[in-house]
């Protein structure tokens, strides 16, 4: 088993820029190709401990970021390629690394329909997996990053993949995407936070990604059973609290946060129903990230104590 960190810098650069670097990420293999220094810097910082696929392994997603043609060079623009096609408009050069990560998310969002996919972070402690659904700006990624820096295992920042047959969550650990003020919050939370390149003036503002594979089991691929759905919401004004919520309401909100609930039809309904029936559901309202981490720790410790 070869790990990215075992490659020399020259070998790493050559493979990334010429043949592509095949990275094992959860159940998938991404072959990433780019000659951009920012992309090289980001992958080196954030994927250094990921496994490299071997020759003959099936490539799920073949992606590239490149400048092509005189116009793109003059205007400092890039194109994102998926299987040699260009599904998006041109990208400003300064947003290169953020778009690489967004493009990797897009691959799963569009194509991975063997699972029920929730727009949610997912974390685990003591083999207890907790799904954190949330709309953009709800604070799920900030909480996910803080938990990852506090001994929790990050299973995903963006996609909670639920196996239809078992209802278990499939790990898909990749860097956590943080925006604007959240970047400073996590830097203040822990000196151990490792960040990749910062992308400025994106449609989401200032974006940086934090290395998330910090746990000894980060790269294990065995699905985990889920014990709770926690719906986080950052609010500077409302009282902080971790409160139980009704399963019926949780079903509706979790379905709303699914990428493919409707597409899966009866299968999507049954998987979501079984998931919500088997877990506890909570609202987590927070304004202090340390308090939120303590609340999550207490939730898991209370379950194990019971």
Asked if 110 and 61 count as a contact pair (C-beta separation under 8 A), the reply is no
Give the whole-angstrom CA distance, residue 59 versus residue 81: 15
Read off the pLDDT band of 301 (50, 70, 90): confident
Task: Write the Ramachandran bin of 210: left for phi over 0, alpha for psi from -120 to 50, otherwise beta.
Answer: beta
- Measure Cα distances from 233 to 58, 132, 134, 284 in Å: 39, 10, 8, 6
User: Where do we find the tokens 């790493």?
Assistant: 12
pLDDT the model gives residue 178: 96
160, β-bridge pairs = 118
Is pLDDT above 70 for 239?
yes
* Mean pLDDT, range 265-293, rounded to an integer: 96
Is pLDDT above 60 for 71?
no
pLDDT the model gives residue 304: 42
- Diameter over CA atoms, the chain: 65
* Mean pLDDT, range 20-47, rounded to an integer: 96
Is pLDDT above 80 for 302?
no
Mean pLDDT of the residues in the chain: 93
Helices (H), the chain: 9-14, 37-46, 70-75, 96-111, 140-148, 181-189, 247-256, 266-278, 289-305
Read off the pLDDT band of 198 (50, 70, 90): very high
Q: Tell which residue, 140, 96, 112, has the closest CA to residue 27.
A: 112
SS3 content of the chain, % helix, strand, coil (to 5): 35, 30, 35
Read off the pLDDT band of 72 (50, 70, 90): low
* Mean pLDDT, range 58-67, rounded to an integer: 95
Is pLDDT above 80 for 303?
no
Give the whole-angstrom CA distance, residue 296 versus residue 306: 16
- The pLDDT tens digits of the residues spanning 178-189 come to 999 999 999 999
Which domains can be identified in the chain, with CATH numbers?
2-111 (no CATH), 116-305 (3.40.50)
Asked if 242 and 303 count as a contact pair (C-beta separation under 8 A), the reply is no
Its pTM stands at 0.93
Helix/strand/coil for 243: strand
pLDDT the model gives residue 55: 87
Q: Tell which residue, 208, 112, 103, 222, has the closest CA to residue 173.
A: 222
Asked if 182 and 203 count as a contact pair (C-beta separation under 8 A), the reply is no
Is pLDDT above 60 for 141?
yes
37 token code pair: 């220094």
């Amino acid at each position: 088993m070869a790990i990215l960190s075992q490659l020399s810098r020259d070998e790493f650069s050559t493979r990334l820029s010429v043949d592509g670097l095949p990275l094992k990420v959860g159940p998938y293999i991404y072959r990433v190709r780019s000659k951009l220094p920012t992309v090289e810097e980001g992958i080196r910082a954030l994927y250094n401990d990921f496994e490299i696929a071997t020759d003959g392994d099936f490539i799920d997603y073949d992606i590239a970021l490149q400048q092509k043609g005189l116009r793109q060079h003059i205007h400092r623009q890039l194109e994102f390629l998926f299987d040699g096609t260009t599904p998006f408009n041109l990208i400003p050069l300064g947003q290169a690394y953020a778009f690489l990560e967004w493009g990797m998310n897009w691959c799963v969002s569009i194509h991975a329909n063997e699972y029920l996919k929730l727009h949610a972070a997912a974390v685990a402690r003591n083999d207890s997996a907790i799904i954190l659904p949330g709309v953009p700006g709800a604070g799920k990624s900030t909480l996910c990053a803080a938990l990852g820096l506090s001994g929790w295992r990050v299973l995903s920042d963006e996609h909670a993949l639920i196996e239809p047959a078992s209802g278990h969550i499939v790990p898909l650990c990749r860097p956590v995407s943080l925006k604007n003020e959240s970047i400073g919050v996590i830097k203040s939370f822990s000196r151990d936070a490792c960040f990749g390149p910062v992308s400025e003036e994106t449609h989401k503002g200032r974006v940086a990604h934090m290395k998330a594979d910090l746990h000894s089991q980060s790269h294990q691929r065995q699905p985990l059973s889920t014990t709770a759905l926690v719906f986080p919401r950052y609010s500077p004004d409302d009282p902080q609290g971790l409160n139980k919520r009704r399963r019926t309401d949780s079903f509706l909100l979790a379905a709303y946060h699914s990428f493919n609930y409707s597409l899966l039809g009866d299968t999507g309904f049954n998987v979501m129903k079984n998931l919500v029936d088997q877990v506890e559901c909570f609202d987590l309202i927070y304004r202090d990230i340390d308090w939120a981490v303590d609340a999550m720790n207490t939730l898991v410790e209370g379950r194990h104590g019971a």
